[in-house]
Structure 1
Amino acid sequence: MAIKAVIFDIGNVLIEWQPERFYDAEIGETRRREMFAEIDLHDMNNDVDLGGNFRDTIYGAADKYPKWRDEIRMWHDRWFELATPAIDHSVHLLRALRTKGFPVFALTNFGDEIFSRAQKHYTFLQEFDQFYVSGEMKLVKPDPAIYAALETACGHTPDSLLFADDRIENLDAAVARGWQTHHFQHPQGWADRLVSEGVLTRDEATWPDNKKDKT
């Protein structure tokens, strides 16, 4: 089936999301490992992704673990240092698709409040044709219901959707519904897939800095 719409995850597809890397730099790898062993911070973040209040959820977790209170609060207070940098080549691909008038959607596990802030910080997050944000929908990947909701809203058949995500479990859930998928590991691989599907030409998919390297 020909691709009719392209769907981007955001974390580790358009923006690097590496909390462990942030904490390694702030408190050292040994203490970070100790903290993450004691506290499931990713599960805390899942509560935010499900629509929990951004500050209250994180500060509430911090209050439960006084030993790590200051460190946990960094997840809220310094969030943009956890979610950085933008993956420039992926942003280029998003914009190349939009330039061609190709429908591009976001399907992301993201708190609704912090997503609004992120759209101001990373303005390319305003550029999708449609947004499917877990915090607004009160559903998270890989729950089949979030995929079904996108299908209903977007008007395209499942087999005409091409979805890029960095997490295999999210892709498996999409495949189960008949979507076409791409396991995102590097933007060049995503660019190659878009070219192979005939969605972009090789020139359109090439990051400008790479073109400069060849001149």
Structure 2
Amino acid sequence: MINTIIFDFGDIFINLDKKTTMDGFKNLGLKEWNEDLDQLNIQFEKGNISRNEFLAGFQKHMPNASIEEIQDVWNTILADFPLYRLEFLQMLSKKYRLFLLSNTDSIHIETFEQRVGSSFYGDFYQCFEKVYFSFEMGMRKPDAEIYQALLNQHELQPKRTLFVDDKKENTDAAAALGIQVWNLQVGKEDVVDLFEKNIL
């Protein structure tokens, strides 16, 4: 019997618009997403580099763009956060131990909080026993250590814990530790369909 649920954030609660972001970078002169940008993103999500180092790294690939323009485009990925998902989460929080585990960075979280306001994000964070962001933890999914950290910290039993994420590599890594998983298919499924999945 599941008594704990660990949720991802992006495309689970807040919708992401990756196409607009990529189009925006192309308009700023980026030829293609590459390994260097991938590594910058990973290091920033782990909190290993500063905001300035991250943005300057991107600027090398778009030399005619300003730091402000790059940051603005970086934030276009953050779309809407439907209220019905928050209400569903609030209902869930009365029955289960809930945790948030997100690969994210300081720019995106700061922007999310500014956009939705303290009342909304306060209500959201309050649903969770603890909120975990990769940039604060110094580790990220799908590395096994990040799941193990939650299991150990909160004395969670893997077989009684469900992990919900839209990326298969992340749910596969959790499943390898014995955690129950739901690899949510974005655009076809919604987090509020949880009870229809017969996992709980």
TM-score bin, normalised by smaller chain: 0.7 to 0.9
Q: CA deviation at 1:156?
A: 1.7
Secondary structure at the residue paired with 1:82? coil
Deviation per CA, 1:49-95, whole angstroms, max 9, x where unpaired? 1104552133221342354534x754423544221122444333322
Give distance in 1, aligned partners of 2:35 and 2:28: 10
Alignment of 1:28-67 (within 5 A): 35-37=31-33, 40-67=36-63
Runs of 4+ in 1 over 6 A off after TM superposition: none
Larger Rg: 1
Give distance in 2, aligned partners of 1:191 and 1:39: 35
The yes-or-no answer on 1:22 pairing with 2:24 is no
Which residue matches 2:99?
A: 105
Secondary structure at the residue paired with 1:131? strand
Secondary structure at the residue paired with 1:35? coil
- Structure 1 unaligned segments of length 5 or more: list them: 200-215
**TM-aligned CA distance change 1:40 to 1:155, over 3 Å:** same
The normalised TM-score by structure 2 is 0.79
How many residues align? The count is 193
Which residue matches 1:10?
A: 9
Residue type at the aligned position of 2:85: S
| Contact 1:58/1:75, CA 8 A, preserved across alignment | no
**TM-aligned CA distance change 1:192 to 1:12, over 3 Å:** closer
Larger helix percent: 1
Q: CA deviation at 1:162?
A: 0.8
**TM-aligned CA distance change 1:14 to 1:43, over 3 Å:** farther
Residue type at the aligned position of 1:185: Q
The normalised TM-score by structure 1 is 0.74
**TM-aligned CA distance change 1:168 to 1:74, over 3 Å:** farther
Which residue matches 1:192?
A: 193
Secondary structure at the residue paired with 1:36? coil
Alignment of 1:128-207 (within 5 A): 128-186=128-186, 188-197=189-198
| Contact 2:51/2:107, CA 8 A, preserved across alignment | no
Give distance in 2, aligned partners of 1:115 and 1:86: 13
| Contact 1:182/1:190, CA 8 A, preserved across alignment | no
| Contact 2:28/2:62, CA 8 A, preserved across alignment | no
Residue type at the aligned position of 1:96: M
| Contact 1:9/1:108, CA 8 A, preserved across alignment | yes
RMSD: 3.0
| Contact 1:58/1:73, CA 8 A, preserved across alignment | no
